[in-house]
């Protein structure tokens, strides 16, 4: 009994002590504390009043002004909120939360350029917080800056691979790139793992309706979106759209913007609590490499053979990094089997109608996206087809693809010819090449190779210039001659594989890349190029995964590492 009495007495004394201390709390901190609690409870009127008092008393407290801005923003007073955030930043330029919240406010006001500036500062102050990169990517999407948005969403994905908003944002960049099928695959991969992720469902519905013209799939996505609880602010609008689409698919209007146009890129909560303002500023993520391979000239690995006259500095072409990874779609089973006349160029699809639709308004810009002028690099089945069509489409996707095969000449190692005449022609070719007269340079390299068929550099440079000029029959023939002279030449065999791929001889290109890897297992370029072939042309995702994982193992900081990780996320086992 005495223990219970003591316990009760202790509680009474503690309550009295707390009450005494609270009563002695200065008015400013007390108002700030009450305002924070009211804000947490959603009592916005009380929060605004208390925090206004706190900022009047604690006029130099940046955190108080930041809280006040949050309360005003949530209470629907954006101009006053902007002033509060600006005051907080005048008092403390490194208050990351104020930069973040002001950026969110500018996004709500459809001022993406101003928002981008604030989120850029936030990501410099807090480089390891994914929310900042997601919001920066959202601002860049609204500015139609696909390349910058890709980098931001990629960074967010690296920080948290389980956050679907990063993949969702990357899907939005595919729309800006004019690749709606890739976008649909990203949105579909999110839905497979998180079926209730509303932004991906709405984006997938929009892509299916407006870009892929698959009304059945779009309706299925809209209905799934409408089934999510709690209902989104634009539920009535989307429901009306789905109903009209169900009744008359051909005449259904494009979706109109909802009450919250940023639904497709969900915003994290505002940040009222200041954290460590002295956080170290990390380096910015590396800029992506060029999307197309470039042919550059570098000094040779070795000089001409001693039997020749005094060697002239020889230039051979360095092999370029393959094109970037794309999410591998299912290839069109009806694609032509004969090699194209030019390198594998992106195939165009009909541009979407130019009338302003939901997507343009969803991105918060009066400008149309670049879809009407972009080309699509893939063909494939529409993600999430109606169940009645699924079996037929899967059968078509599984159908084998027939590629043309290269007719190897397999030349023997040539005999030495006239080294003196060959060097004269080679020098002339170098001068022309330096003047960027590619056609004439290729002709003089070819003369040098004719004068002395056993000169590796002459054969190789002839092949490279012909490759650059898209004269694939000539390029392939001279690559074979170069390899007959030096079968172990890595650069020659790698370039030979790229030329075979460009000419449409995909299986033979894969064979040559496998030869490169057999001799050089750590050759990252070949691992990457072979992964691309399996993913994009040979439709073998398991083999593509094996080579992509090897690239990440050998070179975790590879410029294509982000693309690879996104592909792996969108193409799970």
Q: Is residue 191 part of a domain?
A: no
Cα 185 to Cα 189: distance, rounded to the nearest angstrom? 6
162-202 pLDDT, tens digit per residue, is 889 999 998 999 999 899 998 999 999 899 888 889 999 99
Cα 140 to Cα 147: distance, rounded to the nearest angstrom? 9
* Token pair listed for 215: 């009304």
CATH number of the CATH domain containing 513: 1.25.40.10
Q: Is residue 230 part of a domain?
A: no
By residue range, what is the domain housing residue 427? 299-305+311-319+406-570
Q: What pLDDT sits at residue 438? A: 87
Report pTM: 0.52
Give the contacts of 287 (CB within 8 A, at least 6 positions apart): 151
* H-state helical runs in 357-487: 358-362, 387-398, 419-434, 438-451, 456-468, 472-485
Q: Is residue 436 part of a domain?
A: yes
Q: What pLDDT sits at residue 252? A: 54
Q: What pLDDT sits at residue 394? A: 45
Q: What pLDDT sits at residue 275? A: 42
CB atoms within 10 A of CB 437: 14
Contact 479/314 with Cβ under 8 angstroms? Answer: no
Give me the number of domains the chain comprises. 1
Cα 238 to Cα 223: distance, rounded to the nearest angstrom? 9
Q: Is residue 80 exposed (0-12), middle (13-18) or buried (19+ Cβ within 10 Å)?
A: middle
**Mean pLDDT per 10-residue interval, the chain, length 573 residues:** 39 43 69 92 93 93 94 94 94 93 94 94 92 94 92 89 90 91 91 90 92 90 91 88 78 43 46 42 27 27 32 34 30 28 31 42 38 30 36 48 89 92 91 88 94 95 92 95 94 94 93 94 93 89 92 87 84 75
* Token pair listed for 89: 């930043």
Q: Is residue 451 part of a domain?
A: yes
Q: Is residue 463 part of a domain?
A: yes
Distances (CA, A) of 397 to 134, 180, 184, 536: 34, 18, 17, 13
Q: Which residues of 296-306 are buried (b: 16+ CB within 10 A; e: fewer)?
A: eeeebeeebee
**Peptide bond connecting 230 to the previous residue in cis, omega within 30 degrees of 0:** yes
Cα 529 to Cα 515: distance, rounded to the nearest angstrom? 13
Q: What is the 3-state secondary structure (H, E, C) of 104-164?
A: HHHHHCCCHHHHHHHHHHHHHHCCCCHHHHHHHHHHHHHCCCHHHHHHHHHHHHHHCCCCH
CB atoms within 10 A of CB 141: 29
The C-alpha angle 299, 303, 307, rounded to 5 degrees, equals 160
Q: What pLDDT sits at residue 434? A: 84
Q: Is residue 494 part of a domain?
A: yes
Q: Is residue 482 part of a domain?
A: yes
Q: Is residue 8 part of a domain?
A: no
H-run or E-run covering 298: strand 296-298
504: which DSSP letter?
T
CA trace torsion 495, 499, 504, 507 (10° rounding)? -30
Residue 465 has phi, psi (to 5 degrees) of -65, -40
* Token pair listed for 531: 């992964």
Cα 184 to Cα 168: distance, rounded to the nearest angstrom? 10
203-239 pLDDT, tens digit per residue, is 999 999 989 989 899 999 999 999 998 888 889 889 8
Closest CA to 372 of 356, 355, 352, 346: 352
């Amino acid at each position: 009994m005495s223990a219970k009495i003591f316990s009760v007495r202790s509680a009474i004394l503690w309550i009295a002590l707390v009450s005494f201390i609270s009563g002695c709390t200065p008015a400013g901190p007390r108002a700030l504390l009450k305002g924070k609690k009211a804000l947490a409870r959603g009592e916005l009127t009380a929060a605004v009043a208390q925090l206004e008092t706190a900022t009047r008393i604690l006029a130099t407290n940046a955190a108080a002004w930041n809280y006040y801005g949050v309360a005003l923003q949530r209470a629907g007073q954006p101009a006053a909120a902007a002033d509060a955030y600006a005051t907080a930043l005048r008092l403390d330029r490194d208050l990351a939360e104020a930069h973040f919240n002001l950026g969110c406010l500018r996004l709500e006001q459809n001022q993406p350029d101003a928002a981008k500036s604030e989120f850029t500062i936030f990501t410099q102050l807090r480089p390891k917080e994914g929310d900042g990169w997601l919001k920066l990517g959202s601002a860049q999407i609204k500015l139609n800056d696909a390349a910058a948005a890709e980098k931001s969403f990629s960074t967010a994905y690296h920080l948290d691979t389980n956050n679907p908003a990063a993949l969702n944002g990357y899907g939005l960049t595919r729309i800006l790139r004019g690749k709606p099928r890739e976008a649909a695959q990203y949105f579909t991969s999110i839905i497979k793992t998180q079926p209730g992720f509303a932004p991906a469902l709405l984006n997938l519905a929009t892509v299916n309706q407006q870009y892929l013209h698959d009304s059945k799939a779009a309706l299925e996505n809209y209905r799934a979106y409408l089934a999510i609880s709690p209902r989104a602010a634009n539920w009535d609008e989307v429901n009306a759209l789905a109903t009209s689409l169900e009744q008359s698919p051909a005449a259904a209007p494009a979706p109109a913007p909802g009450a919250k146009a940023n639904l497709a890129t969900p915003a994290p909560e505002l940040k009222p609590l200041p954290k460590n303002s002295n956080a170290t500023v990390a380096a910015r993520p590396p800029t992506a490499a060029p999307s197309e391979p470039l042919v550059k000239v570098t000094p040779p690995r070795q000089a001409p053979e001693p039997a020749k006259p005094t060697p002239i500095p020889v230039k051979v072409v360095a092999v370029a990094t393959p094109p970037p990874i794309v999410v591998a779609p299912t290839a069109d089973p009806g694609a032509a089997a004969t090699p194209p006349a030019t390198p594998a160029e992106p195939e165009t699809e009909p541009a979407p109608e130019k009338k302003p639709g939901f997507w343009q308004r969803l991105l918060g810009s009066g400008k149309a996206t670049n879809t009407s002028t972009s080309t699509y690099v893939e063909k494939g089945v529409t993600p999430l087809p109606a169940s009645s069509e699924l079996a037929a489409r899967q059968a078509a996707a599984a159908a084998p693809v027939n590629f043309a095969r290269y007719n190897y000449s397999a030349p023997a190692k040539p005999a030495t010819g006239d080294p003196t005449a060959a060097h004269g022609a080679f020098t002339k070719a170098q001068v022309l090449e330096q003047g960027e007269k590619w056609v004439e340079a290729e002709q003089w390299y070819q003369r040098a190779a004719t004068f002395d068929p056993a000169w590796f550099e002459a054969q190789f440079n002839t092949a490279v210039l012909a490759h650059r000029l898209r004269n694939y029959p000539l390029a392939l023939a001279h690559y074979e001659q170069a390899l007959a002279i030096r079968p172990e030449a890595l650069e020659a065999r790698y370039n030979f594989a790229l030329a075979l791929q460009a000419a449409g001889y995909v299986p033979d290109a894969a064979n040559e890349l496998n030869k490169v890897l057999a001799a050089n297992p750590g050759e990252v370029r070949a691992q990457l190029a072979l992964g691309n072939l399996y993913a994009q042309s040979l439709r073998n995702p398991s083999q593509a995964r094996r080579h992509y994982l090897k690239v990440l193992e050998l070179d975790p900081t590879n410029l294509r590492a982000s693309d690879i990780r996104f592909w792996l996320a969108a193409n799970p086992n």
